[in-house]
Amino acid sequence: MKQASGKTEIRELNVDYNGRQVYGKAYIADTGRQTPLVILSHGLGANHQRVADYARDLHENGYSAYIFDFPNGSSPYLENKSGTETTKMSVMTEADVLEAVYAEAKTWDFVDTSRIYLFGESQGGLVSAVVAVNHPGEFSGLLLLYPAFNIPDEVHKAYSTLEEVPEEYDLLDWITVGRIYAEDVWNMNIYDDLQNYNGRTLIIHGDSDPVVNVSYSETADELMPDCELYILSGAGHGFSGSDYETAMETILEFLNKT
């Protein structure tokens, strides 16, 4: 990958959200001018480190990048500097946090506010899509890696009615969430919104993903007016090695078109 010249500053940059601090890091590309910004959202149970490699490679190619910990959005086995009460987290609480990050990012002096992109992996992809459709025409691009458009279906598989959902339960047998998690997606149909979203979108998904079947991204690609779908043969949920390199090259090609 071609790398831009100039030094890069990595700055701890927290965002206020309802009186609490959301921990984040800004990778600021020193190009001598304001730069495009990519806001990266990690997936369910992860933290900002999950997308740090993408942030690093983006800033080495002339883009500033921002990564952060969704409050209460990480597995108990990972550090989350924004909060650790997973029973208070949902797709929509994370969408609210991303809205706060976006609002704050528009005030940062290193950002070219005419070129802000949302980037999300897994649940962070669904969250990014929710926020993007609420701001038609504002983002230069929406980048989604194996977006978890299956979350409403997974909740419905576990419970036939919303009344059956307990105050706390184990989602996908590995992370404890609260009733709010099911309530906030029970009637969600993200495809209804995506089919009316005209912004440029790139989706990258592995055809061997055991967590989110690639068919969910194929449906989005069919419905969205301006979408590119890149299917990685043999890739699973999360990219590494040559799959990561291919994904990163595809991302940069998409970004450099705008």
Percent of the chain beyond pLDDT 90? 86
The whole-number pLDDT of residue 2 equals 46
Q: Enter the DSSP assignment of 30.
A: -
User: Is residue 118 included in any domain, yes or no?
Assistant: yes
The confidence score (pLDDT) of residue 78 equals: 80
pLDDT tens for 38-87 read: 999 999 999 999 999 999 999 999 999 999 999 988 887 788 888 878 99
pLDDT of 1 higher than 90: no
Residue 136's domain spans which residues? Answer: 8-256
| pLDDT at residue 188 tops 50 | yes
Q: Cβ distance 185 to 152 under 8 Å?
A: yes
How many domains does one find in the chain? 1
Q: Could you read off the pLDDT of 218-233 as tens digits, one per residue?
A: 999 999 999 999 999 9
Q: Lowest mean pLDDT: which of 115-129, 160-174, 240-254? A: 160-174
Three-state secondary-structure class, residue 172: coil
pLDDT number for residue 7: 59
Q: Kindly report the CATH number assigned to the domain that includes residue 25.
A: 3.40.50.1820
More confident residue, 32 or 33: 33
Phi-psi region of 122 (alpha: psi -120 to 50; beta: other; left: phi over 0): left
The CB density around residue 198, as the number of other CB atoms within 10 Å, is 11
Q: Which residue has the tokens 């965002």?
A: 15
Give dist(CA 88, CA 113) in Å, integer: 32
Average pLDDT of the chain is 94
Q: Please indicate, yes or no, if residue 3 is contained in any of the structural domains.
A: no
Confidence of residue 116 (pLDDT cuts 50, 70, 90): very high
- On whether residue 250 sits in a domain, the answer given is yes
Q: What is the pLDDT of residue 39?
A: 99
121 within some domain: yes
Parallel, antiparallel or unpaired: strands 24-29 and 64-68: antiparallel
| 2 is a domain residue | no
Does residue 69 belong to any structural domain of this protein? yes
In order of 46, 147, 172, 203, the CA distances from 209 in angstroms are 17, 11, 15, 14
Q: What is the pLDDT of residues 122-150, one digit of tens each?
A: 999 999 999 999 999 999 999 999 999 99
Is the pLDDT confidence value at 111 over 70?
yes
